[in-house]
C-alpha cells in the first residue's frame, strides 16, 4: 500500500488548477468529471504521488457540502491497494466503518471506496485500485 494521491476540495476548480500549475511548476495532466459524484477532478503528478483537485458540479454534491462546512482544503488521502475487495473485507473485520461496502468507479481509472474519517483520526481515507 502506498499513497496514490491527496485530494483537495476547492471552490473554483479552474482557479485552483491555474494556482497549482504555478505552485507545483507542472501542468495539470488530466481533468475528468465523475458524474455519479457530481465532481470535476484535476490531477497533478508530483514525483510518484498525485494531487487531485475536487470541484463540485452541483450545490448538492458531497464536495459542495464539504466546502460550505469546512472550507477549501484537504479532503482525503488515497492509498493504492492491490486488491480493494480483500482490503475492504479486512478493514470491516477489524471494525472500521466503511462508507462504501463495495468499491465504485472513481476518477483516474480507479475503483474506489472510503473509510469514515472517525476511523482515520479525522481524515477521510480512500482506498483505490487501478482497473484494466
Q: What are 41-75's pLDDT values in tens digits?
A: 999 997 888 999 999 999 999 999 999 999 999 99
Check whether 132 has a pLDDT greater than 80: no
Q: Residue 72 gets which letter from DSSP?
A: S
> What is the reported pTM?
0.90
48: how many CB neighbours lie within 10 A of its CB? 8
Q: What pLDDT is attached to residue 48?
A: 81
Q: Report the alpha-carbon distance of residue 22 to residue 67 in Å, rounded.
A: 23
Task: Give the domains, in start order, of the chain with CATH numbers.
Answer: 2-130 (3.10.180.10)
Amino acid at each position: 500500500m502506498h499513497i496514490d494521491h491527496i485530494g483537495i476540495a476547492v471552490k473554483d476548480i479552474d482557479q485552483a488548477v491555474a494556482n497549482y500549475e504555478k505552485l507545483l511548476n507542472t501542468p495539470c495532466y488530466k481533468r475528468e468529471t465523475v458524474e455519479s459524484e457530481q465532481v470535476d477532478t484535476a490531477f497533478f503528478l508530483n514525483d510518484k504521488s498525485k494531487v487531485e483537485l475536487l470541484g463540485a458540479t452541483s450545490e448538492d454534491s458531497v464536495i459542495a457540502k464539504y466546502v460550505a462546512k469546512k472550507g477549501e482544503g484537504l479532503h482525503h488521502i488515497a492509498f493504492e491497494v492491490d486488491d480493494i475487495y480483500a482490503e475492504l473485507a479486512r478493514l470491516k473485520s477489524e471494525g472500521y466503518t466503511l462508507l462504501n461496502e463495495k468499491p465504485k468507479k472513481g476518477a483516474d481509472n480507479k475503483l474506489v471506496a472510503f473509510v469514515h474519517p472517525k476511523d482515520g483520526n479525522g481524515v477521510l481515507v480512500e482506498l483505490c485500485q487501478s482497473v484494466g
